[in-house]
Structure 1
Amino acid sequence: MKRITKLWPGGKPKAFTLSYDDGVEQDRRLIGIFNKYNLKATFNLNSGIQHEGSFWVDKGRTIRRMNPEGLEALYEGHEIAVHSLTHPILPDLPRELMLTEILEDKRNLEQKFGYLVTGMAYPFGAYNAAVIEVLKASGLEYARTVNSHLKFNLPENPYEWHPTCHHNHPELMNLAEAFLAERFGSLSLFYVWGHSYEFDVQDNWERIEEFSQKISNHPEVWYATNIEIIRYMEACSRLKFSVDCTLAYNPSALAVWVSADGNAVEVPPGKTVQLY
């Protein structure tokens, strides 16, 4: 019997992504580490308070957001996403203020970085059905929660995208080893999130350096931003197959890869490909 499964770009069976919030000064050091190991991340910014005058103190350390000048170059190669205009607890707001918080942040970030901004992380991890409704109405394609599930699953609902774990989870390194070693029967995804200032507060920058080195540059892993994951999943969902599954047609604008009885096959955009 024919067996067809979906693969990540390049015919890879695994994907890895990262997400960091708040646009703080420590992002500079973190991005240096990610770039060193060829990792790609999504950074969630609050454009209404993106300046050095926005700060707080955590365990005696001053945590300060960056001024907006030069952020385009700093975040180049990574994704910028919405984190709301001023970082409120969104479910506490009237719908009108929710819309302002989301749309104005999206507008400002798009004007600043020069591309469509369609992803998000919930401030304080707080959301409900009303917030999700506003996100959809605002043209956002996904939103990340803070609810770790310690699995390598794809999101069932892109507006309730639960990451695998926080970078300080005690099982982080064990999860990395399992992810790299295991063979999965379907697409797998390892998703790590956090705040870069936590490495200063907890004085453990060596943790993210060690983890980045361990997880990086593996031939079976696709390294992607959050939005790249979401858009590839959407392209995969649009594949059309003949009744006998010998042909695959790709109506999307992205190349999609499938495994046909263990053989990786690329289905280019707008093309029909013989799988068997």
Structure 2
Amino acid sequence: MRRVVLCYPEGKHKALTLSYDDGRTADRRLVGIMNRHGIKGTFHINSGLLGTNDRLTKEESLELYAGHEVSAHTVTHPTIARCSKEQLVYEITEDRKQLEQIFGYTVRGMSYPNGSFNRQIKEMLPFLGIEYARVVESTKTFAIPDDWLEWKPSCHHKHDLMGMAETFVGLHKQQYLYLMYVWGHSYEFDTDNNWEVIEQFCEYAGGRDDIWYATNMEIYDYFQAFRQLKFSASQDFVWNPGAGSVWLSVDGRIVEAKGGVQTSLA
């Protein structure tokens, strides 16, 4: 029997993603830093607050977040564990509708506003079109989430970010897949007067050939695509019913299982 295991695109075994909430004007500087170093991320937006106080406008958001993912964060940022089911449905569904109208693609992920959620909310999310949801509790590890509706990041940017980055970059055992997930709010860099934290991190962690830089949704979709692969019982070949490629290590040899075709693993 062949040893067939999942890899990230192009056979990589490390992935990095960032996640920032609220759509504040400080995202301008953050996105500029990320773009300079080829780092991708997801920005969770309250559609009902766009253009108010220090929030970006619809027009600026559309241009700024190009190449990244925009995801839901509810319309008005309530503590949703305190909301009625009716308000919860409105806050998430209306946020999706408004963001989809602005950005032109299906919004399928979110982060919980104020980190607020419970079991009932998680059970409702698939019926509201949400496939992943990020929490605020950090793992301090580089593990792949077991529960995508309670997706725990590796760390907040305030919590030993460079120490985590150095450990992550140094990982070399390719029998594992690693994911570094950093979250926060861009306005915190203004409040704490420490933009050098994210600048140093992006310069250090960006532009590396052995890291896949992806949005939250790209990572989620990639793992779902792997789960949809149809392997022969002998693992001599695999059928990929999806549109995108999935990369596999077959006895140490990297194989691209292209979308819509059958690929030999022999």
TM-score when scaled to structure 1? 0.93
Match for 2:167: what amino acid?
A: A
> SS at the partner of 1:147?
coil
Q: 1:254 aligns with which of 222, 238, 244?
A: 244
* Runs of 5+ consecutive residues of structure 1 not aligned to the other structure: 54-63
Match for 1:89: what amino acid?
A: T
Match for 1:12: what amino acid?
A: K
CA distance in 2, matches of 1:117, 1:2: 38
CA distance in 2, matches of 1:250, 1:112: 32
Query: How big is the shift at 1:46?
Result: 0.5
In the TM superposition, what whole-angstrom CA distance separates every residue of 1:148-202 from its partner, at most 9, and x where no partner exists?
00111111111000000001102x2122122121124232211000000000111
Equivalent residue for 1:221? 211
Equivalent residues in 2 for 1:23-34, closer than 5 Å: 23-34=23-34
155-164 or 177-186: which moved more? 177-186
Equivalent residue for 1:271? 261
In the TM superposition, what whole-angstrom CA distance separates every residue of 1:40-83 from its partner, at most 9, and x where no partner exists?
11000101111233xxxxxxxxxx22232321111111100000
CA contact (8 A) 1:95 1:134 kept: no
173-182 or 209-218: which moved more? 173-182
Query: How big is the shift at 1:133?
Result: 2.4
Equivalent residue for 2:100? 110
CA distance in 1, matches of 2:259, 2:149: 26
Number of paired residues? 265
Equivalent residues in 2 for 1:230-245, closer than 5 Å: 230-245=220-235
CA distance in 2, matches of 1:118, 1:13: 25
Match for 2:30: what amino acid?
A: L
CA contact (8 A) 1:98 1:134 kept: no
CA distance in 1, matches of 2:19, 2:150: 14
CA distance in 2, matches of 1:92, 1:212: 37
In the TM superposition, what whole-angstrom CA distance separates every residue of 1:106-150 from its partner, at most 9, and x where no partner exists?
100000111111110000111011211232111111000001001
Q: Does 1:187 align with 2:167?
A: no
Please give the root-mean-square deviation of Cα atoms over the aligned residues, in Å. Answer: 1.1
Equivalent residues in 2 for 1:120-139, closer than 5 Å: 120-139=110-129
Equivalent residue for 1:176? 165
> SS at the partner of 2:99?
helix
Query: How big is the shift at 1:12?
Result: 1.2
* Runs of 5+ consecutive residues of structure 2 not aligned to the other structure: none
Equivalent residue for 2:195? 205
CA contact (8 A) 1:18 1:41 kept: yes
CA distance in 1, matches of 2:256, 2:218: 17
Q: Does 1:37 align with 2:26?
A: no
TM-score when scaled to structure 2? 0.97
Q: Does 1:150 align with 2:133?
A: no
Q: Does 1:92 align with 2:77?
A: no
CA distance in 1, matches of 2:244, 2:44: 25
Q: 1:162 aligns with which of 136, 140, 152?
A: 152
CA distance in 2, matches of 1:194, 1:272: 41
Equivalent residue for 2:21? 21
